[in-house]
Structure 1
Amino acid sequence: MPGNWRRFKGFFSLNGTNGSNSRHAWLHEEERALLPHHRNQNIESAIPPREVTKVCLRLRHLIRECIPCELEESQITRSHSTIITTKVIQAAREAGGERYGSCVVYALLVNMRWFQREAIVELWDADLHDLRAVACTVIAKQIIETEDDTEYLLHHVLLRRYSFLINQETTPPTNVIEKAVDLHAVRVIGSSGYQKCIAYLWRGWLVQDENDPSKFVDYKDKDNVNFIVHMDPDRMRAPRYQNAAQLLFSFIYLALYTIAINSINATGVLDAAEIVLYVFTFAYVADELVKYYKAGYHILGFWNAFNFILYTFLTVSLVFRIIGLSYWSDDKRHAEYSRLSYYLLAFVAPMFWGRLLLYCDSFRFFGAMLVVLKVMMKESVIFFALLIIIIIGFLQAFIGLDVAEDNVAGDSWFIIEAMLKAIMQSPEFDGFENFGHPYSFGLVLYYCFTFIVMIILLNILIALYNSAYEDIYENADDEYLALFAQKTMQFVRAPDENVYIAPFNLVEIIISGLFEWWMPKATYEFVNDCVMAVLYSPLLFVAAWLETRTAHTIRHNRARGEEDDDQVHEWEQFHEEIDFEAEGWTKTCDAVKPNVEEEPAVIEVRKLRAEVDELKQMLSNLGSAIKGKEDQPVEEAKSGKAPETEGDETRGETLETSEVPETLDVAEHPDEPEQDDEAEAQDTPETSAASGGDNKGGKKNKKKNKKKGPGGAGPSSGGPSS
């Protein structure tokens, strides 16, 4: 279609220049990708599935080794975790090597699903497997947020589709964006890189390549300031424009209903507002049927069931109106069917207003509220299951008492109404004394039923709702981002090549029936472009105005060297005028900023350890010096040198004893006799001063002779004295 639109603009010279059961169950689960199955048939994995499987197994082994036992989840998820360290994240990056590194995040999501599945199979280790699944999301988020190359992150890591092998069969290719939404990996969805990709998809800056649906390409004209260039009807594929169109048509649909219900025609004839209302209804029904036909039952959800009930009531209302018109001559039946038709039309008013929430969930307030309601409804399944079982049991008991009395179940409606009032906390005990009279079995049963429902079950429901609300409230932002990502991907996976939003899909049905089966494809696409340009002209005018303004912003950002979606905030306006480093403010902040990467106790222990090591080194050096001084006289005596003078000996002994404490000498020379230590300790400056020079010299010579032994080379070692 873009080629046709360029040819159409070429007429005005306005072309832009920028411009087995278990096996099948596994496979069936993997087919639940957001992209419809018929679009996946010709898509292949960007990396051979066998290599992707190997990467998955490497990462599985890594995570099992890093988390060998049960831990607190906070130890895994907190910043600067001691479990998921930078080395672990780097090892995960290297699991794919240089060639297959782009599939690591996808492989982590596959492992997340494996561990979740293992937690269901091995209940005795469910907490451990759930913890490993959480670790997969933590590592994936870190890899996404620390990737500096934005283009590589968007086009190869997040949007490139990959497959792996299950029982030697290839799974349908999916990308990280789809996989994270399918698995509800809110931690991955909440990462900055993932949200940047979702924002680009929402704005239409990333679109699917028409020639290769497995790839996404950049919208080339996003920086083009030419107004007509952005009037391309193919821009209606952008999710934000589709959402805006759906929201606009929903308000028109509600306005038509309001006019129809407030202008009741007594004759029963359809007026203009009612005709348009039923045309819209038929268009919405056709849209739901086409989606179901093309995408399968996997797209069915709460809102599909909600809309089905609404459209059913409106269709029945129209049928009754037509039946009433067929009895034009019979005033009584004509009035009866017309009145019944209006009754049904008025009955669905709350559903009309509630339907707006489906299209308002892109706003944060409504989106967060819908997430809370969705989780609460899931939690209430337990309550309703117990309630149904109890109702059936007591209903059978009451009917049995009624039949036992007169063999006729004549009070069935009374019993059902009384039980419903008890559920609504408005019980009525009158009348149950007649069941099982005169023993009052019925009254006792009704008391028991009221107690179980009002005291036990309703408190269980309140507790479930409270628990669900607390769980969602703590993670409300990520839950909203997950809902927004899912909504974005629903638009991206639109199965139609030509985007005809209901009620314009009726025009598509007519064009397709008249031209598609015989007209050449290029001509047929050109016809669709022209028709959509006319139908969406008001919306395209607004879209072109917005995109022209955005193009100026993009050019300004590129001129500053920033990314296309960069916004200059108030606190960023004076960054160029202030140099914190030149002012010395950076050094001041570095001196006072806390170290959040390590615990204070760990920092103090490391500092103490460094001081202890330094002290040990000082003691070792000091001990070596002392030992060297003590060994020096022995070496001199062995070499035949003359002993030192008495003054030198006294001065050396005084210095030695003043510097070295007694305990240090014992620690460094544990093998020396205790007598030497005592003699050395007594040889202090005071004792040296009190004793005479001869006495000191005698003590010193005596000590030297003792060290030399009987074979020493002193005067006493010679022959007998003369």
Structure 2
Amino acid sequence: MADGNDEERAALIEFPASNPNAVTISRIVKRLRAMILTLIPIEVEQHSLTDATSRIITPAVINTFGKAAGDFQEALPFCLLRARRTFWEQAQMSPADYDEHMARATACEVLARKLVHVVSPERLNHVMSKRFRYKTWDDEESAAVSALELAIDQHCTIFLSSNEAQHVVQSLWDGEWIQNNIDDFNIEYIPYNPPHNRTVWQALNPDRMSVPRYQNWMRIFFWFFFLFVYSQTVQQPLDRLDPKHHFDIWEVLLYVQAFAYTMEETIKTYKNVRYYTWKSAFNFWLGVSFATDGLLIGAFVYRIAGIASPSHEIKLLTIVESFKYIGTMEICVSRMLQESSIFFALLALLAVGFIQAMFALDVADGASDQTGWDIINLLLQALLGSPDFTMSVAGASTFGLILFYMWNVITSIILLNILISLFSSAYADVTDHAEAEYLTFFAHKTVDMIRAPDNFVYPAPFNLIETCLIIPWEPFLSRDFYTKINRVIMTVLFFIPLSIVAIHESHLNTKKNSLIRSIFNRLEEPDGDIDEARDPPCDEPHGNISTISFEELVASFPNISQSSEESILAQIGHLKDRLDYLVMRLDLDSKEKEKGNK
């Protein structure tokens, strides 16, 4: 039997460039859906699709899907991910067939990963960055989106945890590939190949501020500076609350930075909604950012900076989330809070009923002893484990006491245990697939930094300079002169960080400097000569290493690229061939005997 990897790689090697329109993409998606429905007509277990030796998604199946798009093979990964989205939507609308549709969605994602695996390295950046449009349900063209961006929008952990996807993401993160914005909101990932032997001054390039890794370090630095400014602000004397008190330097820095961060998040969200889709723009931590910024704006209006303190440490998590441990814990927190929506929905329904009942008991005697806020506070204290049975609304009557007992039992025993089980389930789901979840999260963070079109990146709080002093001149200046002005201003503003980046890229980069690599990279480089490693020569006069060849040594190894079913079928096929040969020989012998007897 042929090697599975060879058969798989024979499916797609070149991925020729193509530019299909939205109608063509939609037709390819429909064709792929029909093929998936034929491949998986019944419900199957998801692990039978994701297994490396799957008996469903075999090399022959991958080869077949590789030919499904005809002359538009470059669009295949995108179309498969789009088909995955349609099956996922069907699963949400049809609970009875949920598992069946989710299995088909998983099959689409696995096939997209397998097909990307066979892309030649020279075409990988084009396949992952090429943006396509498709027809929506109302016959309108969708926003332009690439295979990588579509996978991120759908949280495709299987696809995004592949070596090929992570190679693209890591290259974008490190700045080895850069995003080139083309007309009509199209993009292309192109390699960044500066001269090898360049000086620090030649490496001083303001465009490198758009590299996600450098943006991340700038954000971390300025957020720690922001926390320092905030600490100084809240430690000032209380006379700052006097309306006649003038702003001091710390308050000015605090509110300027807060306004810059608010503007940065707002502009990025606006661009994502306008040019792409709202689903890629909004997430849980964006809500945290806007809530924090809203508190700071409120602090500015009321000059009460202390009300914003609890949320800054929470938002700091989104700044240092590129570290793997913090990023994984952030995913856990986000997933747990999303799962807790059931708990809060049930709690809200129960709270409304109990508040109305207890308020009715309080006014039954014709006088209202407690306000609505007192009743809400009573129920919240009981929920948090500190019930007050002495309050009149709870202990004034037997029925009021029974109601309060019921509230404590339902919330403290039933609902809180539901919340704990939801948290445990969400935590287990993340930790069981921690690597894939973090890689997906890292891909989202990287692409989110460069997705919104921005040719000149001014990290907050310097984005205020761009917005207030530079952008207003854009309509009146030529494109070349406007670009030159931006490059000069960015070089002046970011001279120190750009100098550090230039020194790192020209002299300290372990991937390009052999001396630095020998100091910091302790891993031995793999031997490139595979044939010599398999059958190494020997200088000993009285011995030889390769007395038995490598091929003979590994001949007894099992072929783990095949599933157990495939191995059994291969053995049965081999036995069938032997039996057919034996039967043929017996027939020939019998015919020869008959001729001899005659």
Alpha carbons 1:401, 1:435 under 8 Å: kept: no
Q: Does 1:274 align with 2:232?
A: no
Q: Residues 258 and 591 from structure 1, CA distance in 2 versus in 1: closer, same or farther, beyond 3 angstroms?
A: same
CA shift for structure 1 position 175 = 0.7
Give the one of 113, 116, 122 matched to 1:151: 122
Q: Partner of 2:309 in structure 1?
A: 349
Hey, what does 1:310 align to over in structure 2?
292
Residues in 1 aligned to 2:455 and 2:474: alpha-carbon distance in whole angstroms: 13
Q: Deviation per CA, 1:224-247, whole angstroms, max 9, x where unpaired? A: 533223211111111111111111
Change (3 A) 1:370 1:381: same
Q: 2:47 pairs with 74, 82, 86, which one?
A: 74
Query: Structure 1 CA distance, aligned partners of 2:587 and 2:493?
Result: 96
Matched, 1:529 2:487: yes
Is 1:225 aligned with 2:194?
Answer: no
Structure 2 residue aligned with 1:36: none
Cα deviations by residue, 1:440-484 (Å, 9 ceiling, x for unpaired): 000011111111111111111111111111111111111111111
Alignment partner of 1:593 is 2:557? yes
Given that 1:75 and 1:81 are in contact with CA atoms closer than 8 Å, whether structure 2 keeps it comes out as yes
Specify whether residues 465 and 261 from structure 1 end up closer, same or farther in structure 2 by C-alpha distance, changes over 3 A only: same
1:242 is aligned, of 196, 200, 215, to 215
CA distance in 1, matches of 2:427, 2:321: 18
**Pick aligned residue for 2:533 from 579, 593, 599:** 579
Counterpart-to-counterpart distance in 2, 1:294 and 1:90: 39
What are structure 1's unaligned runs of at least 5 residues? Answer: 1-44, 322-340, 558-566, 636-722
CA distance in 1, matches of 2:584, 2:444: 67
Code of the aligned partner of 1:88: V
In the alignment, is the contact (CA less than 8 A) between 2:327 and 2:438 conserved in 1? yes
CA contact (8 A) 2:507 2:513 kept: no
| Secondary structure in 1 matching 2:427 | helix
Classify 1:375/1:234 alpha carbon distance in 2 versus 1 (closer, same or farther; 3 Å).
Answer: same
> Could you say which residue in structure 1 is the equivalent of 2:134?
164
Letter in 1 for 2:261: Y
Could you say what secondary structure the match of 2:193 adopts? coil
Task: Please name the residue that 1:48 is paired with.
Answer: 21
Listed one character per residue, the Cα deviations across residues 105-159 of structure 1 (whole Å, up to 9, x for unaligned) are 0110111011112223333322211111000001011111222x1121211x111
CA contact (8 A) 2:160 2:440 kept: yes
Counterpart in 2 of 1:9? none
Question: What is the distance in 2 between the residues matched to 1:289 and 1:617?
Answer: 75
Deviation of the 1:626 alpha carbon: 7.2
Residues 208 and 214, structure 1, Cα contact 8 Å, conserved in 2:
no
**Secondary structure of the equivalent of 2:490?**
helix
CA contact (8 A) 2:55 2:565 kept: no
Once residues 395 and 69 of structure 2 are traced to their aligned partners in structure 1, the CA distance between those partners, rounded to angstroms, is 74
- Give the aligned partner of residue 475 of structure 1: 433
Report the counterpart of residue 7 of structure 2 in structure 1: none
Matched position secondary structure for 1:221: coil
Equivalent residue letter for 1:591: A
Aligned CA distance change for structure 1 residues 301 and 133 (closer, same or farther; 3 Å): closer
User: How far apart are 1:573 and its partner, in Å?
Assistant: 5.1
8 Å contact from structure 1 (residues 223, 551) kept in 2? no
Q: How many Å separate the matches in 1 of 2:204 and 2:595?
A: 98
Amino acid at match of 1:119: A
1:613, CA displacement in angstroms? 6.6
| Contact in 2 for aligned 1:399/1:409 (Cα 8 Å) | no
Q: Which runs of 5+ in 2 are unaligned?
A: 1-17, 537-545
TM-score, scaled to structure 1: 0.71
CA contact (8 A) 2:90 2:101 kept: yes
| CA contact 2:91–2:97 (8 Å) conserved in 1 | yes
Q: Specify the alignment match of 1:405 in structure 2.
A: 365
What is the rounded CA distance, in whole Å, between the counterparts of 2:109 and 2:526 in structure 1? 36
Q: In the alignment, which residue of structure 2 is the partner of 1:197?
A: 168
Aligned amino acid, residue 579 of structure 1: A
Aligned partner (choices 372, 375, 391) of residue 415 of structure 1: 375
Question: In structure 2, what residue type is equivalent to 1:57?
Answer: K
Does the CA-based 8 Å contact 2:174-2:211 persist in structure 1?
Answer: yes
Which of 147, 150, 153 matches 1:182?
A: 153
Distance 1:292 1:113, change over 3 A: closer
Specify the SS of the correspondent of 1:572.
coil
Matched, 1:394 2:354: yes
Given that 1:402 and 1:409 are in contact with CA atoms closer than 8 Å, whether structure 2 keeps it comes out as: yes
Change (3 A) 1:94 1:292: closer
Matched, 1:366 2:319: no
Q: Summarize the Cα distance change of 1:630–1:110 in structure 2 as closer, same or farther, 3 Å threshold.
A: closer
Q: Are 2:465 and 1:507 equivalent residues in the alignment?
A: yes
State the Cα distance separating 1:263 from its structure 2 match: 4.0
Relative to structure 1, the CA distance from residue 145 to residue 473 in structure 2 (aligned partners, 3 Å threshold; closer, same or farther) is: same
Secondary structure, counterpart of 2:224 in structure 1: helix
- Paired with 2:585 and 2:467, the residues of 1 have a C-alpha distance of 95
- 1:570 corresponding residue in structure 2: 523
Match of 1:647 in 2: none
Q: Secondary structure at the match of 1:382?
A: helix
Partner residue, 1:17: none
User: Partners of 1:607 and 1:287 in 2: how far apart?
Assistant: 63
Q: 1:398 to 1:548 in 2, by over 3 A?
A: same
Can you list the C-alpha shifts for 1:44-65, whole angstroms capped at 9, x where unaligned? x932223222322221222111
Where 2:178 maps in the other structure, the secondary structure is: strand
Aligned to 2:442: 484
The residue aligned with 2:102 is 130
Would you say the 8 A contact 1:93–1:104 is kept in 2? Answer: yes
**Paired residue secondary structure (1:254):** helix
Could you tell which deviates more after superposition, 110-119 or 128-137?
Answer: 110-119
Query: What is the one-letter code of the residue matched to 1:478?
Result: A
Kept in 2, the 8 Å contact 1:112–1:136? The answer is: yes
Partner of 2:178: 207
Q: Which deviates more from structure 2 when the two are superposed, residues 226-235 or residues 580-589? A: 580-589
Q: Please identify the structure whose Cα radius of gyration is greater.
A: 1
TM-score by structure 2 length? 0.84
Letter in 2 for 1:376: M
1:607 CA drift (Å): 4.5
Opposite residue 580 of structure 1, the aligned amino acid is R
Match of 2:13 in 1: none
The corresponding residue for 2:420 is: 462
Change (3 A) 1:434 1:67: closer
Could you say what the CA RMSD is over the residues aligned between the two structures, in angstroms?
A: 3.1
Deviates more, 1:497-506 or 1:593-602: 593-602
- CA separation of 1:227/1:79 partners in 2, compared to 1, >3 Å: closer, same or farther? same
Deviates more, 1:600-609 or 1:497-506: 600-609
Per the TM alignment, residue 403 of structure 1 is displaced from its structure 2 partner at its CA by: 0.5
Aligned AA for 1:272?
A: I
Task: State how far apart, in whole Å, the 2-side matches of 1:427 and 1:479 are.
Answer: 40
Q: Deviation per CA, 1:36-86: give whole Å up to 9, x if none.
A: xxxxxxxxx932223222322221222111111111111111012111111
- Evaluate the alpha carbon distance shift between residue 103 and residue 432 of structure 1 in structure 2; reply closer, same or farther with a 3 A threshold: same
Distance 1:433 1:210, change over 3 A: closer
